[in-house]
Structure 1
Amino acid sequence: MSTGTLGLREQKKRETRQAISDHATQLFLERGFDRTTIADIAAAARVAKMTVTNYFPRKEDLALDHHEEFAAGLAETVARRPAGESALGAVRRVYLAALERRDPVIGFTGRDFARMVADSPTLVARLRDLHDQREEALARQLAQEAPGDPVAARAVAAQLAAADRLLFRELQARMLAGEAGEADEVDEVDEDGIAAALGELARRVFELLEPAIGDYAIR
């Protein structure tokens, strides 16, 4: 099989995965996550049910399709930090940059999507699990860098992850509330206003952590 053929097959797989994800998201927004079945998604995407589950083993993964990136995010942020930067400094810098680009991974999902997640106990539980995975991955990364003090690594990871959870939940709450002022009349969300408010909150939260862990894991 030629390299070109392999490339076409991989492209086709990516297109199929994206089509399934897009149709699933649309159905979730229209009907709610818990009322939408895998059969509904397969029919909308014009594929077999097995095809859906081959690409997305868990139904929750269809809604939270950035789950792998999310779970690894804090650990990768710390692993990639430049020389002279602490773990706290790296998390703060990357979070503020994500705010600037309105990254869905930190919670910029739109009001309808945020409502769909909030209304589903299954997705709320899955999101809680992903936050736990995010903390665990960060703890492993910090422990690798300081193998002689695993307790400190877990403690720092817990503090950074707690700040991360707080900011995520606050962003989602503001997304649900809208903070749109006059734009509420057209059912729009003022993402710029939310980003500005979260930026101030994030700086305050990270500032509070500075005395305790600001000097930890400086590369």
Structure 2
Amino acid sequence: MGQGLRERKKQELRQAISDEATLLFVERGFEQVTIAHIAEAVGVAKMTVTNYFPRKEDLVFDEHERLTRRLAGTAVERRPGETVLDALRRDYADSAAAGDELLGATSRGFAGLVESSPVLLARLREILDQQERALADALVAEAPDQPLAARLVAAQLAAVHRILWYEAHRQVLAGVTPERIFPVLGAAAEDAFAGLARLYQGDDRVLKRRPASE
């Protein structure tokens, strides 16, 4: 079996485990479902589940690594001539237009599951905090002479994502459909980033443009 096929089968199994776990959690509650229940439902050993998901919470937040790295990755890979703020502004607009669930507009069942579990709410806060720290580290690497300024900027930029994630979550719980939520998120993000752009106008200590030669 080729490496590509093995990796694809591993990803398929990982997704199957996560999907089945989420269904069980929504049906019975996060605390009431054990790793053994999930393993039995998928038809694998308990060790297989824990090998893919060392933390039970990440059976729910199976995209946590992508969410954690998202802002930092956008900053590092931004276009020539683009500031960090402009890159995050563009990425959010594109994501809202595409209906990306990582902005927080998920299904009502998923949102209810998270809301009902203190453990899952704590893990969500941790993931969003890690997202901010990853962005801060990326900005410090670009502006090592301004570490405090870089971390303050990261906090403000990440706050846009964090606050709008919780707003999307709130609206989903209220019964608003994702199709109606995404345009609201896009407009709110545009207002927020425009406000930050005015705040930082003329100050390029941290929000530096990527040189066209890179």
TM-score scaled by structure 2? 0.91
Residue of structure 2 in register with 1:65 after alignment: 62
Q: 1:45 to 1:146 in 2, by over 3 A?
A: same
Matched, 1:133 2:124: no
Separation in structure 2 between the aligned mates of residue 175 and residue 69 of structure 1, nearest angstrom: 22
- Kindly state the Cα deviation for residue 205 of structure 1 after the two structures are TM-superposed: 1.3
Q: 1:5 to 1:132 in 2, by over 3 A?
A: same
Contact 2:105/2:182 (<8 A) preserved = no
Contact 1:88/1:160 (<8 A) preserved = yes
Q: How many residues align?
A: 206
Residue of structure 2 in register with 1:154 after alignment: 151
Gaps of 5+ in 1: 180-188
Matched, 1:200 2:191: no
1:48-127 matches, within 5 Å, as 48-127=45-124
TM-score scaled by structure 1? 0.89
Contact 1:99/1:195 (<8 A) preserved = yes
Contact 2:105/2:181 (<8 A) preserved = no
Output one character per residue of 1:6-62: Cα deviation in whole Å (capped at 9) or x when no partner.
444333322221221111111111112122111110110011111100111000110
Separation in structure 1 between the aligned mates of residue 30 and residue 20 of structure 2, nearest angstrom: 12
Output one character per residue of 1:151-178: Cα deviation in whole Å (capped at 9) or x when no partner.
1110100111111111111111111112
Identity over aligned residues, as a percent? 51
Residue of structure 2 in register with 1:212 after alignment: 199
Matched, 1:36 2:27: no
Gaps of 5+ in 2: none
Q: 1:29 to 1:149 in 2, by over 3 A?
A: same
Separation in structure 1 between the aligned mates of residue 209 and residue 4 of structure 2, nearest angstrom: 42
Separation in structure 2 between the aligned mates of residue 211 and residue 101 of structure 1, nearest angstrom: 27
